[in-house]
Amino acid sequence: MKIIVTGASGLVGSSLVPTLIGRGHEVTQLVRRASKGVVAGVREAEWHPERGEIDAGALEGCDACSSRLRQSATTATAATKC
């Protein structure tokens, strides 16, 4: 499955991403700025929730979205486009 993950650098997300990769999923983490330590095999896509901007191409063909951020109108909109 192609899975989009928000909050990938947080407590839950930092454990979730390697687990998903280990199970053979294709993972793209949404980031506001380039990460310092990207897990091997993980793609990054830029987004700016405060401005309502996202790399729409990164969402194409995704099968699931895991949001580990506090719920807001911005994150809810991003997740429903998946």
| Rounded Cα distance, 39 and 15, in Å | 11
**Domain containing residue 13:** 2-80
Q: What is the structure's pLDDT at 69?
A: 58
pLDDT digits (tens, 9 = 90+) for 8-34: 777 787 888 889 999 999 999 888 877
| Structural domain count, the chain | 1
* Closest to 7 in 3D by CA, of 27, 21, 24, 23: 27
CATH number of the structural domain spanning residue 37: 3.40.50.720
